[in-house]
């Protein structure tokens, strides 16, 4: 029942987690890895938090709204950072993070 209730947010979190993990791994292969350090760090934070938010919603945790509120903030930060870079993996990650931030914000306020 909880999955259906939060389906769109869970799917956005799952997609964002995958995009962030892919972006972090791809950033490690960029020529100037040091320049990508903040992007990589935010990607890792965001991926983990999105996975936690998805799991919390799936089990209808009493803390889902608080977790999703934090997830929305971290996703927005990650999106802002990734959007600064021209690589396609960063741009795709920025879009996934923005979508997740929107869904998590809606869920946390519902």
**Residue 15: closest CA among 41, 39, 43, 47:** 47
pLDDT value for 89: 97
pLDDT value for 10: 97
Tokens at 84, concatenated: 């600064």
In the chain, the percentage of residues whose pLDDT exceeds 70 is: 98
Q: What is the 3-state secondary structure (H, E, C) of 22-88?
A: HHHHHHCCCCCHHHHHHHHHHHHHHHHHHHHHHHHHHCCCCCHHHHHHHHHHHHHHHHHHHHCCCCH
Per-residue model confidence as pLDDT tens digits over 25-78: 999 999 999 999 999 999 999 999 999 999 999 999 999 999 999 999 999 999
Tokens at 91, concatenated: 């741009």
pTM for this predicted structure: 0.95
In the chain, the percentage of residues whose pLDDT exceeds 90 is: 95
Mean pLDDT over each residue of the chain, to the nearest integer: 96
CATH topology of domain 2-109: Substrate Binding Domain Of Dnak; Chain:A; Domain 2 (1.20.1270)
pLDDT value for 1: 58
pLDDT value for 7: 95
pLDDT value for 4: 84
Q: What is the CA radius of gyration of the chain?
A: 14
């Amino acid at each position: 029942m909880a999955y259906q209730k939060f389906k769109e947010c869970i799917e956005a979190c799952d997609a964002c987690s995958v995009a962030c993990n892919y972006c972090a791994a791809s950033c490690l292969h960029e020529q100037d890895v040091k320049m990508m350090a903040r992007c990589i760090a935010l990607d890792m934070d965001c991926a983990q938090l999105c996975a936690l938010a998805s799991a919390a919603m799936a089990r209808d945790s009493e803390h889902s709204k608080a977790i999703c509120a934090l997830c929305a903030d971290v996703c927005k930060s990650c999106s802002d950072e990734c959007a600064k870079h021209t690589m396609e993996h960063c741009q795709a990650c920025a879009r996934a993070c923005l979508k997740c931030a929107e869904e998590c914000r809606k869920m946390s306020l519902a």
